[in-house]
Amino acid sequence: MRLSDYIERRQKDLVFKAIAEELTSRSASNLSEQCEQMTKSVMETSKPNTNESKLMNECKVETKDKIEYVPGQASKFDSGKVRMDLLPIRPLKDVAEILTYGADKYGSDNWREGKPIAHSRHYAGIQRHLMAYWSGEDLDPETGKSHLAHAACGLLFFLELSKSHPELDDRCKSALGWND
C-alpha cells in the first residue's frame, strides 16, 4: 500500500469516527436521516472506491441511547446482547454431526440425563482426540469425523457439566503445582 493511500484511508477512518461521535451526542430522533446525510457528504468529498462505498453504506453507529443504526435498515436495540452472529457456522455444524452420531449410538442427551460421568472421563476423551489429531490423524476411525470436532464436543460437555454438576469435578487441583 502506498503512503498516500494509507493517509487517505486513515483520514476517512477519522471522518467516520467524528461522525459516530457527533451522532452519539445527538438524540435518537432523525438518526437515520442524519447518518445518511453525513455518509453522503463524506462519500462526495472523499470519492471512495467501490469496496469503501459498500463498507460505508453498511456502517454501524451506536448512539448514547443504545440504538444500533445501519443505513437503509430499521433501528434495533442490540447493545449489550450476546453476539450469536460471531459463532463460526462450520465448526458448530461439525460438532452437531458428532452429537448426532452420539445420539444414534447412546441416545439423545445421554451425557446430560443425570448418569454421572466424572470430569476426568470427559477430560480423557478430549485428550485422546487431541493427541490423535496432534499425531497426524485428522479423522476418528470409528466415526470418520474430525478429531477436533470430537474434542470440541467434549469441551462443550465439560463446560456445561462444570456448571450443572460441579459435584462430578474430580480434578486433582494441586497436580504439578498449577494452582500454586
Q: What is the pLDDT of residue 125?
A: 94
Binning pLDDT at 50, 70 and 90, where does residue 130 land? very high
Mind listing the pLDDT tens digit for each residue in 69-122?
566 667 667 778 888 889 999 999 999 999 999 999 988 888 777 667 888 888
HSE (side-chain half, CA atoms, 13 Å) at 102: 16
pTM beyond 0.85: the answer is: no
Q: DSSP secondary structure string, 133-178?
A: HHTT--B-TTT-SBHHHHHHHHHHHHHHHHHH-GGG----TTGGGT
Q: 138: number of CA atoms within 13 Å, CB side?
A: 0
Question: Which range is least confidently modeled, 64-73, 117-126, 151-160?
Answer: 64-73
Q: Which residue has the cell 432523525?
A: 30
